Amino acid sequence: MGNGVGIVKDARGITAVIIHIVLGCLSAFFLIPLLLVASISLTQQQWVNAHGFSLWPHVFSLEAYQYILQAPSILLHAYGVTIFITVVGTTASLLMVTLIGYVISRPDYAYRGVTTLYIYFTMLFSGGLVPFYFLMTKYLHLGNTVWAMIVPGLVSPFYVLVMKGFLAKIPMEIIEAAKIDGAGEWRIFFRIVLPMATPALATVGVFTSFAYWTEWFNALLFTTTQSLTPIQLLLYRIFDDISLITSNPQAAAALHLSFEKIPTTALEMAMVMFVAVPILAVFPLLRRYYVQGLTVGSLKG
């Protein structure tokens, strides 16, 4: 009997080691593209043109970053706009998504089936780009405001349904007990529901913050003011200007630029690093809640 238990434990230990090795290899494969991007951004363009890509910068160069940092005040302001959009947009979106998800998860809400169907319907059909543009500019008057980059992403039907599925697992007895103790709906929501929904909030918050951090399309559509340009749109315009110069030797000559020496490939990779590194630095802080949010949906009861 003892030998059988020992064999089972050994088998489980070997299985755990194999799983860790496989996951470690997968993690390495996922990190390789990021390391490659960082290496290219720090490599001299002439070496890249002659030898291709490498995981290590053989000829170290900061030319790409120098091009981007030629106007640091503009870059920092664009970062500020993006940070404001991400923080305010994510906070407001989580509040609205959780409120809607909580309402339609309550079994005592008489119209939760109809409301859920209405929310699901918006996942399948939309009015299109032109009605969306007129709604934002003619009716909501959000053109050339920072809210034009926040309001469109406030409520995601998919995240509402995800939050509904999580909040539906909260026992109704807890809410009824709070009511007996004299708590109102708002107090129940903020004091009981939100703390219990921390894993789901972290999971939805990560994806929502990614969406706001990478926002550029709504900024392109609805803003024309330089002070409202987020980092994504600014870097896109920088690369667009560089591409125009490199494809037009006459324009480069008029601007007294040597377009052959412009680090186009390294510049692209440097832009990726400017955008990816800040949001990747935040992700480990929410990793524990993120994992809980992904696994909680598989639990029963």
Q: Give per-residue pLDDT as tens, 56-115.
A: 888 888 888 887 777 778 888 888 999 999 999 999 999 999 999 999 998 888 888 899
Closest CA to 211 of 119, 98, 89, 101: 89
Q: Give per-residue pLDDT as tens, 112-135.
A: 889 989 988 888 888 788 889 998
- The reported pLDDT for the residue numbered 54 is 81
Closest CA to 207 of 120, 296, 299, 289: 289
Q: Does the pTM of the predicted model rise above 0.75?
A: yes
CATH 1.10.3720.10 fits 63-298, yes or no: yes
Helix (H/G/I), strand (E/B), else coil: 56: coil
Instruction: Work out the mean pLDDT of the chain and round it to a whole number.
Output: 81
Q: Is residue 36 pLDDT above 70, yes or no?
A: yes
Q: Is residue 275 pLDDT above 90, yes or no?
A: no
Domain boundaries, the chain: 63-298
Q: How many CB atoms lie within 10 A of CB 217?
A: 13
